[in-house]
Structures are given as structure tokens and as C-alpha cells.
Structure 1
Amino acid sequence: MSILTFQPSDVPDGGMHRFEAGDRKVLVTRDGDVFHAFDAVCPHAGADLGSGVRCGARIVCPWHHAAFDASDGSLLEPPALQGLKQYRVRRSAEGLSVDPNDTVQVPPPPPRLSGHHTVIVGGGAAGFMTAQTLRAGGYAGHITMLTAEHRAPYDRTALSKAYLSGDRPAEKLSLGGPNWARDHDIDLREGTRVTSLDRDARQIQLAGGETLSFDVAVVATGATPHALKVPGAELEGTHQLRSFRDAWELREAAEHKRVVIVGSSFIGLEAASSLVEHAASVTVVGQDAEILSRAVTPRVGRALRSLHEDHGVRFQLDSGVTALEGRGHLEGVRLKSGERLDAHLVLLGIGVGPNSGLLSALADDHGAVPVDAELRAAPGVYAVGDFALAPTVLGTLRMEHWRVALQQGMSAAQSILESPVLEPMSGRVPFFWTQQYGKSLRYVGHADRLDDTHLWGDPGALKFIEFAFEDGVAVAASGMGYDADLAAFEELLRQGHAPAADEVRTGPFSLVDRLTQG
């Protein structure tokens, strides 16, 4: 393995530079005369961090916006689950050098909260990240994780993408590796249903009759897919996509079959792109005039629909389903126009509702559970994930996004630990991404409406950024082919320095330059 040598002037002060050291990529940061070196490959999905952005103490991944501390590589933002490997930087008369074999061993944090018991209800992203962050932060108490699924925590985002397409096997879905619970001393109880939570007594009742006492409970029960309320909805051949079992059943059933997907948002479209190569046909039915109508404008939606059509997906938009038809098993889908689509199976992608039953006394009229900036719903009880109504830099929101759930789990764990590096949710930015046909659309921020927008680039060429404004300031940006700029936009939002609508309309300009130049 090659030793990297370089001069101080090769790395901009306050910035970073990626070098090649044989077959290894090394990222070097500089602050005055202080240099640090790290593995330049993001541990989440393998992105080149040298193509990302640096914002103060943060190194931000260009793909999925994981963030790492520029001085020690520690994890600041998911979806990465661990920090960066750090290498020692040595000085000599000839300059600076890094040997990728010479790693900096970070001492573990001192043990904390020995004798404490945290019970996590739910094995999804938020529950997993709570446990992961607790152990990484030195939590020495007992952690019990209760999940209704008969599986250890896994990457749910892959279900509608790589798993459904057949590109990622089931054994590669686990979060933290196949032995994560054992390696982190987690008492993982699969196939366990919780019937009640007593906040005052700090006890959880299990379906089998067992009672667990807790010092802290973290409720991460997620959301439940909406059902289609039409005649024939009970027919065999109707599928949802929320769990691994759902995805497995759908993948097995769809081979060489006519598939109708009800819903033209992200889950439905990801499933369409994954199934179209294996199914006899795929048709997407959407009630709006264009796909993804809540996230992007019609011009962008048309471009993304064309991408699907080029791969053989058909669309019935500005439409709806009035009945599912068949004798025992699904045979067709009746649209509100009266047209009948032949179908062997239907996938419902019509949204989810918050699964807040354990904390129903705290929930609002929509089933969301309000929490504070540290995800605390009540003394000793945290609510994280899809049903939590939590502060963000853009106000209080309930978000059904994978990275938001991971962020909430991280913040809750830091709060339990009373961590000095606590990053409350009120300082975090919502972000999600979708991947279809190998193309990624990334969405930063949140916009309730799309009546004031501006577009840079060409959606037809799948290279654009679309901004949404509220009160004359950008609150959201979605795009393809502008990875570093979108990462920079997230940092600008986090700092409260998002560009004004008038400034965006004079563009395009480099959001990375805007970030680094202040």
C-alpha cells in the first residue's frame, strides 16, 4: 500500500482535498497548520467524500448527506452508521505524509448509565439508530429492543429498490451486520408485540403477559400503510410494501405478471422501476395530473415520467380506482373512467398513517405525537420515527423519511446520554432521496406547496435543481446531477442562510461557492 506525500499548500485552509494512495482514497482536511486524514469513501454507500462539501467542522457526503467531524471523523449525521477511519499525518522536512496502515485508534468513551434500562419498541431505522448511538456513546446499561417483525433491523429503503429488483439479496439488508444485536449487547426480541405502555409506572406490557420495567422507553413504532377502500379490496393478489415479508411476497408474485401500482409517489415509482424488468407489464395509476405532484412541479414530473416510459412503464394519471375485480383472485382493476386494466396483482402505494397507538393519549387529531427538540414526548418516554411531530430547522414537521428517522434516533440517544455533542432535531434538516433506473433524485428541506418555484438546468436531461420558496426564501431544493450543490444547500438551510428567491432567479450560481464564501 502506497504512502501518500503532499505539501501543505495542496490542501486549502479551512477545506479538504482527496488524494490517491495506491488503491486507497485519502481525504485530508486542513485548519491552519493542523491536518487530519481519513478514509475518503463514505461508509454508507461508497461515495467519494472528496466530491462532497466541507462546512466548518463538517464533511458532508455528496450522495446521501451523511456528515462527519473534520477533526476526528466521528459521525455527525446519518445515514452513515459509523464515523470515518482516521490516519496519522506525519511531518518531515519534505512535507506531510500519510500511511494508510497507520490508523489513529480512537479510545472508547467512558461507560455511562450502568444499571439503567432502555426499552426500544420498534426495530426500524429510528429504533436501530437509538440503540446504535447509545452504545457508541458509552451507554453501559441494558438495552431491550422489541420488534413485531421476525427479523433483526434491516435497510427498509432497499425493499422497493435493490431487493425488489433482485440486485440485493436478503442477507445483505441487515443494519449493522448480521450479528449487530449480539455484538452490541442488545436484547433483541423478534416477533414480540407490545400491548400497552404505562408512562407513570414506567412499565411495558407484552402480548404474552410479560411486563418490562424501564428507566427510559423509546417508542419507534413507525406507520401503517393505508388500505384501498373499494369493492374487491380483499381479493388475493393485493399487496402493500412496508416490511421485508411484503417485499418478498411481491417479488415472488410479480414475476411475468401484469402489475398495477396504485399511487404515483416515491414508493410506487421505485417499485415500478424495480419490477418492470421482471413483470409482464407495469402500469401506474395516479390520482393527480402528473407524478410526484407533492414534491416537484409538473415539468419535472413529466421528465421523470418519461424516464419510466422509456423503460416500459405505462401510466394512467388523473385517475382513480373504483373497484378490484376477480373471482377469488385479482383479475382486473376498474378505473373511474370505466376502463378496466387486466391485472394479476395490485401494489398499493397510497401513503401511510402514524402508528401511535401506544402513545395515543399524547397524539394529535392526525395521530402524530408531538415531541420536543430532543424527541421527548413525556418524562422518560421518547417518540421517534414516522409518527413523531418534531422540530426541525424548518419548523415542526412529521416526516416519513428514512434519514429523518435515523436523525431522530441519534438525537434521542444523545439526549438519554446527556451527551455534550447533542444535536437536537431543531438543528437538523430533512432530506430524502429516491433511486430509479440508476438515477437519483435528492430532495433537501420541505415545502408545503409548490406555487412559488424556480428551476435551474434541464429536467429532460436529468440535470437540474428545482427550488421552492416560502416568504421569499428557499425552503426546499430537489435535483439530479448537482450532488455537491444540494449538499451545500442543506448546510445553508441548517445555518439559516438559504438563498432568497430573487437571488436564485438571477442564477444559476454555485451553491458550494456560496457556502464556502459565506
Structure 2
Amino acid sequence: MTLKFKASDVSDGGMHTFEVGDQKVLVTRDGEDFHAFDALCPHAGADLGGGVRCGSRIVCPWHHATFHAGNGSLIEPPALEGLKQYRVKRDGESLSVDLDDEIKPQPPKPSHEDHHTVIIGGGASGFMAAQTLRHGGYAGKIIMLTAENRAPYDRTALSKAYLSGKKPADKLALGGPDWAKENKIDLREGVKVTKLDRDAHEVHLDGDTLGFDAVIVATGATPNTLSIPGAELDGQYQLRSFRDAEKLKEAAQGKNIVVIGSSFIGLEAASSLVEGAKSVTVIGKDAEIMSRALTPKVGRAIRKLHEDKGVKFHLDAEVAAIEGPQKAEAVRLKSGETVKADLVLLGIGVKPNSDLLSDLANEKGAVPVDAHLLVAPNVYAVGDIALAPTVLGEMRVEHWRVALQEGMAAAQSILESSDLEKMDQRVPFFWTQQYGKSLRYVGHAESLDDTHLWGNPDELKFIEFAFKDARAVAASGMGMDKDLAAFEELLRLGRAPGAADIRKGEFSLVERLKG
């Protein structure tokens, strides 16, 4: 198939999606240079033409994966690869793109042939580090050690598509089922690392020792547990690993489910399980759901999505005990009220697995790193354990996209890549999906004492801004994807609008980005 268009169809410095049969092609323009790509984001299939263009960056409207407007290469996850590119031919003002004429990217020059990198952890950060090393031409040895008996997989799908039955287990693998073999990764599953000797450049396992030139510690986090009467009873579940999700999915059908915790993981699980459950009740200690990220007005609108599906809530409530002779049968609140529970799901946060770097961690278990993710010479800490710099300052973020960013940045640092975008140049972002509706959150706010709302949360079309020192530092939103993508770029550039400007009334963040 061939796409034909006029030069005037694409604005200078802009982009446009064209339909060719059942395919979509994205064309970018910079002066007289035109480039053509697959228009659908390889992460989740969003039309990139509905996103924003900022200089050489194409930002996906859904999950903010970012690609180079000239060659389609990946700049920011959660996409794991760049865009397929096609050759553009020009005859005067007429241009054409033959979809059989693909431009294959030039493989990078091999480097680090005698180098050895050990990656401790098979989650998002570890996967992205290995992927970036290989895609960047790293020709040395890569060993990945994971405690799970499973290759790296999409953990974000566990509480969403996997629990709801929309994505089977064999579709969860990151990079595909043969990723490790195809990328020459020595993946060792079910492995426990007992010690990291930074001075000797050694990783100690049960019965084995590995040397390294660089080591990436990506050990993730462990779910918190309750310290109350009945905490030892059977019938209580967590949701962190595939095995957790598998056991929960098998046990939940037709049951009275109580979710303890009213933040993202618990609510995603509630939305995924309610259809097949006898009942779902969420217990939260705060006065409204997701209170660390959303004001009560927005939280109420999201809660209504759940209540309309039959989920019940006990908020501003504390759990006093889990009751039952051998397994959980009820949850008793401090108010004295009891909630019937055949199954209890704990969604009460996590703690970083920083034992291998405990001497460098702070009192909360977070490991301070620099903008290259270095914690010591040739030692990198990434993902849930890392206290890393961002454009908004130093923070430890437990979200998928940030974990991928950190793995990518650490690998680019090892490669000494010209594409290196350090962590202090990156913006935190996460999303949650409940009942097919996506809430997206850009930036980071320590408090919600100073906020302003555009739009109407009850109509699920809004952006809520949070301010610090009279500047916008975070925004959550639904139904205004393009503006939210533009807001991330404004934050990255240090051009986020001020509180006074935002309070004057709604304006286009996309146009502000162009200005």
C-alpha cells in the first residue's frame, strides 16, 4: 500500500496521522524534511498523532512513551522499542510513502566486548537495563538474576488485564517469550543473592560467586503486612508477583472479597475482581480513596465508578483484627463493625528491598543515587529502591514507568551513550486503569494543600493541578490526554505554568508548549 499526500498537509514542526487502508501512518515535518512511521504506539496502540510534538520529541497521549521525530528511536518508556520507519519520496509538493519500503535502523557499533554486567532483579528496571544495553551495542556478558521462577513480565497487567481475564499469562512476558535468548541474556531464575561485595566486584549466590565490571541492583520491593490479631490466618493475599496474582485469581471467584487499602493497586484489583465475586468491599484509613494523589472531589468521582459496579467502601476506617478459626472469615474494624470476608487482599504499600545496599540506604530503606543511578563506582541502584533525582527534585517513586526510565538511564550510563538522558532531566509519570477508564498523573506533589481544578471530575473530564511555591508541580487528569502530555513536557523544560495563571481559567497547554 502507498500513502500519498501534499507537503501542506503537515505543518512545519508538526505531525499528522494518515490512514492507508487499515493502517495508520504518522508523518513528521521539519522544514523540508519529512519522516514517516507506524502511527500506533508499540506500548498500547495509541494513535501518536493524538499526542504532542515538542522539538524532536513525539509524546504518546496515553502513557507518554516518547520517540524521536526524525528516526523513531525510543526516548522514553513505557514503550520498549522505537517506531517502524518508512521511506518518504517527494516530487515537488507531492509526497508518497510505500509501506513495503521500510527503513531499517543501523545497528550500533559493538562496544564493551570484554565487559561483564550483572543485573540483580528481573522486574521492569532490570529488564529495561538489559534491553537498553543490547540495543545500544553492548557486546559484553549480561547475567540477570531473578528470585522469581519466571522471565521478566508486565507487572502492571497483574491487577488489571490478568485478574480480569483479558490478558492470559502467556501474553505477559516483556519482550516476548524468547527475549532472553534473542538478546543473549544469561537469565537465571529462582536465584537468591546473599551478598554484594562492592570492593571485590563480586555478587555472592547460594554456592556461587560472580564477578562484574558493573552491577545493577534492581531488587524491587516487598508488600507490607498487617500487625494485628488474625494476621496469621489463611485466606489473606498480596498482589506483587505473578504467583500472587495467579493464586488470587484462582481463589476469588464467587467469594466475598475485602480489600484493605484504598490506593491504586487495591482499587485496580477491586475493579478487576468485582464482576466474578460475590461481593467486594474496600476498607481505607483515609477519608477518601487515593488521597495521596487526588483531592476528595476527584476521589469521589473515581469512587462512584466503583460504587456503580457494586463495590462497597468503608473509609476513614481502621482494621482491628482478621477473624476466623483457621482462615479469614471477617474483618473487624476499630469501630466494632465487622465485614464478611472469604478472602482478604492487602494493598497497604510496599517497602524497598535494599538489603544488598543497606549500609548506603537511608532510614526508610531508600538508596540515594546520582543522576546516572550510581550509588558507588560501577554500582547502580534502580527501581523501587532508588532515591533518584528528577526535574522536581530527589524522590523514590514506586511506579512502572519510572522504573523503566531508571533502568534505561543506568544502561545508557554504562554505555556512555550520546543518547543519555539523565534522571534529573526526566519527569515522574504513572497511570491507573479502572473499568476501562484511565487516570493519568504527571509530576509529584508532596501535599495537596494548594490545588486547582479544570473541568468536571463527575464527567471524567478534568485536570487537577497541585502547586508548590506558586508553580504547578503535578497534574492528574482524565479525558484531557493531549493537554496532560503537554504538561509533562512543560515540566521537563522548566516552563510549567504558575498557579495564578492556571487559576485565571482554562487554556490550551498544547498551545502553551508551542509558545
> Do the structures match in fold with TM over 0.5?
yes
Residue type at the aligned position of 1:510: S
Question: For residues 186 and 3 of structure 2, what CA distance do their matches in structure 1 show?
Answer: 44
Q: Secondary structure at the match of 1:327?
A: coil
The aligned counterpart of 1:303 is 301
| Deviation sequence 1:305-324 (CA, Å, 0-9, x none) | 11100000000000011100
The aligned counterpart of 1:249 is 247
Residue 436 in 1 paired to residue 446 in 2? Answer: no
Cα displacement (A) at 1:94? 5.7
The aligned counterpart of 1:96 is 95
Cα displacement (A) at 1:107? 1.2
Question: For residues 286 and 199 of structure 2, what CA distance do their matches in structure 1 show?
Answer: 46
Cα displacement (A) at 1:7? 1.1
| Deviation sequence 1:178-218 (CA, Å, 0-9, x none) | 000000000000000100000000000002x1000000000
Question: For residues 499 and 481 of structure 2, what CA distance do their matches in structure 1 show?
Answer: 21
Q: Secondary structure at the match of 1:456?
A: strand
Q: After the TM superposition, which residues 87-486 of structure 1 pair with which residues of structure 2 at under 5 Å, given as runs?
A: 87-93=86-92, 95-207=94-206, 209-486=207-484
Contact 2:7 2:93 in 1 (8 A): no
The aligned counterpart of 2:501 is 503
Q: Secondary structure at the match of 2:157?
A: helix
Cα displacement (A) at 1:515? 0.6
Question: For residues 301 and 19 of structure 2, what CA distance do their matches in structure 1 show?
Answer: 37
Residue type at the aligned position of 2:431: W
Cα displacement (A) at 1:362? 0.6
The aligned counterpart of 1:15 is 14
| Deviation sequence 1:349-400 (CA, Å, 0-9, x none) | 0000111000001101110000000000100100000010000000000000
| Deviation sequence 1:203-246 (CA, Å, 0-9, x none) | 00002x10000000000001111001101111110100000000
Residue type at the aligned position of 2:300: R
Residue type at the aligned position of 1:446: H
Cα displacement (A) at 1:118? 0.2
Task: Report sequence identity in percent.
Answer: 72
Cα displacement (A) at 1:93? 4.0
Question: For residues 513 and 27 of structure 1, what CA distance do their matches in structure 2 show?
Answer: 20
Q: Secondary structure at the match of 2:25?
A: strand
Question: For residues 369 and 146 of structure 2, what CA distance do their matches in structure 1 show?
Answer: 22
Question: For residues 62 and 493 of structure 2, what CA distance do their matches in structure 1 show?
Answer: 20
Question: For residues 106 and 297 of structure 2, what CA distance do their matches in structure 1 show?
Answer: 52
| Deviation sequence 1:257-315 (CA, Å, 0-9, x none) | 00000000000000000000011100000000100100000000011111100000000
Question: For residues 302 and 172 of structure 2, what CA distance do their matches in structure 1 show?
Answer: 27
Q: Secondary structure at the match of 2:358?
A: helix
Cα displacement (A) at 1:329? 1.1
Residue type at the aligned position of 2:43: H
The aligned counterpart of 1:67 is 66
Cα displacement (A) at 1:402? 0.2
Cα displacement (A) at 1:16? 0.6
Question: For residues 434 and 365 of structure 1, what CA distance do their matches in structure 2 show?
Answer: 29
The aligned counterpart of 1:492 is 490
Q: Which stretch shifts more, 125-134 or 328-337?
A: 328-337
Q: Which runs of 4+ in 1 moved over 4 A?
A: none
Question: For residues 166 and 51 of structure 1, what CA distance do their matches in structure 2 show?
Answer: 29
Q: Secondary structure at the match of 1:36?
A: strand
* RMSD of aligned residue pairs (Cα, Å): 0.6
Question: For residues 93 and 373 of structure 2, what CA distance do their matches in structure 1 show?
Answer: 51
Q: Secondary structure at the match of 2:329?
A: strand
**What TM-score do you get using the length of structure 2 for normalisation?**
0.99
Unaligned runs of 5+ in 1: none
Contact 2:158 2:245 in 1 (8 A): yes
Cα displacement (A) at 1:415? 0.1
Q: Secondary structure at the match of 2:383?
A: coil
Q: Secondary structure at the match of 1:165?
A: coil
Residue type at the aligned position of 2:305: L
Cα displacement (A) at 1:24? 1.3
Question: For residues 398 and 129 of structure 2, what CA distance do their matches in structure 1 show?
Answer: 17
Question: For residues 379 and 42 of structure 1, what CA distance do their matches in structure 2 show?
Answer: 36
Unaligned runs of 5+ in 2: none
Residue type at the aligned position of 1:284: V
Q: Secondary structure at the match of 1:128?
A: helix
Question: For residues 391 and 483 of structure 2, what CA distance do their matches in structure 1 show?
Answer: 19
Question: For residues 93 and 397 of structure 2, what CA distance do their matches in structure 1 show?
Answer: 52
Paired positions, count: 515
| Deviation sequence 1:382-438 (CA, Å, 0-9, x none) | 000001000000000000010000000000000000001100000000000000000
Contact 2:239 2:347 in 1 (8 A): yes
Question: For residues 443 and 503 of structure 2, what CA distance do their matches in structure 1 show?
Answer: 19
Q: Secondary structure at the match of 2:49?
A: helix
Residue type at the aligned position of 1:19: F
**What TM-score do you get using the length of structure 1 for normalisation?**
0.99
Question: For residues 510 and 417 of structure 2, what CA distance do their matches in structure 1 show?
Answer: 31
Cα displacement (A) at 1:52? 0.4
Q: Secondary structure at the match of 1:157?
A: helix
